[in-house]
Structure 1
């Protein structure tokens, strides 16, 4: 597995495993927990070591249970989770309590990457939340900290008034919306980009182009998209409930796309 360094020197696997429907009935986002860790078990067996979770997903314990019961040591895994700010910020006490719940559910005394999940319309509160993450980082509980779904204005706020630069901005980047401008902004400020749901957006026309490219290398459309992203130094977190497709998403390190391939994919 290829890893890349974040701006604080921490290494992050460039391909991770999305988890937002894992362990849920019907594989549905809003499904109740089934009480098993099947998808995590498969992912570990396939070679995934980077797992992307979040408080919002209501299944951090699925990740925690799956990693805990593996025979691998905690330090072999890279765990991301996120503070649920989809309804804004409910104060410092709330944030501390939610963070402690995450540590308990994930069954770990540290988190490799902790993110603010979404910005909201209150700059002072965003800075307060960021200062809490900075404190956990300074105490070694978070090995790296970052943000998710932040636009330039929100990043500028933290870059100007925060003390620690975000290591990551996790954003939408997929076929039909590569988000080139924001990725360039992230890169300019030495902030790594993680693409969530990187395999969405592939319509029939895009799939035809991707299949044509993939046929040159014996790869699928999905593998071509993931390869395109990592060749741009974008970290990807694909998700599948199928063991074989999980494995395919890791099988992208034995070919390189041509400049013409890049042009065709960028135009999708």
Structure 2
């Protein structure tokens, strides 16, 4: 597994696994919890060590139970979770309480990475929330801190007025929406990009092009997309409820794309 060194010198596996529907009835985001950790168990068996979770997913306990019951030591896992700010920020007391709940649900006393999940329309509150993350970082409870779904103006706010630079910005980046401009802004400021939903948009003409490229290397369209992203230093967190497809997403380190391949893919 290749790792990326973040701006705080912490190393993150360049491939992780998304978990937002794991352990849920019908594999649906809004599904109730089934009471098992099947997909997490498969991921660990397949070799995943980077797990991406969030309070918003309402299944942190599924990830936590799966990791805790495995034979893999905690220090071998890279665990990310996120403060649920989809509906805004509800104050410092709320933020502290939610963080403590996440630590309990994920059965850990620290997070490798903790992110603010969404920006909202209040700069002072964003900075207050960031200050809380900085405090947990300084205490060692968070090994790294970052953001998710932040646009350039939100990044610039923290860079200008925060004390600690975010290590990552987790954003949508996939076929049809590579988000090159924002990735470039992240990169310019020493912030790594994590791509959520990296296998989206693989359909129609795009799927045909990706499959043609993949045929040269004995790889699927999905594997080509993931390879394209990691070759430009973008961290990916694909998700699958199929054990074999989980394994396929890790099997991308035995080929390299050409400059021509990159040109064709970037235009999709």
Task: Provide the TM-score with structure 2 as the length reference.
Answer: 1.00
Q: d(CA) in 1 for partners of 2:31 and 2:110?
A: 28
- Gaps spanning 5+ residues in structure 1: where? none
Residues 159-192 of structure 1, C-alpha deviations (whole Å, 9 max, x = no match): 0000000000000100000000100100000000
Q: d(CA) in 1 for partners of 2:124 and 2:102?
A: 24
Aligned to 2:84: 84
SS of 1:177 mapped into structure 2 = coil
Q: CA deviation at 1:203?
A: 2.0
Aligned to 1:157: 157
RMSD over aligned Cα, in angstroms? 0.3
Residues 123-168 of structure 1, C-alpha deviations (whole Å, 9 max, x = no match): 0000000000000000000000000000000000000000000000
Aligned to 1:113: 113
Aligned to 1:167: 167
Aligned to 2:263: 263
Q: CA deviation at 1:201?
A: 1.1
Aligned to 2:138: 138
SS of 1:48 mapped into structure 2 = coil
Task: Provide the TM-score with structure 1 as the length reference.
Answer: 1.00
Aligned to 1:66: 66
Aligned to 1:26: 26
SS of 1:68 mapped into structure 2 = helix
Q: d(CA) in 2 for partners of 1:156 and 1:266?
A: 26
Indicate whether 1:179 and 2:179 are aligned: yes
Q: d(CA) in 2 for partners of 1:183 and 1:203?
A: 23
Q: d(CA) in 2 for partners of 1:67 and 1:238?
A: 18
Q: d(CA) in 2 for partners of 1:158 and 1:28?
A: 34
Q: d(CA) in 1 for partners of 2:249 and 2:203?
A: 19
Aligned to 1:40: 40
Moved over 2 A (4+): none
Q: d(CA) in 1 for partners of 2:82 and 2:174?
A: 21
Residues 16-60 of structure 1, C-alpha deviations (whole Å, 9 max, x = no match): 000000000010000000000000000000000000000000000
Q: d(CA) in 1 for partners of 2:30 and 2:92?
A: 28
- Gaps spanning 5+ residues in structure 2: where? none
Q: Give the paired residue count.
A: 268
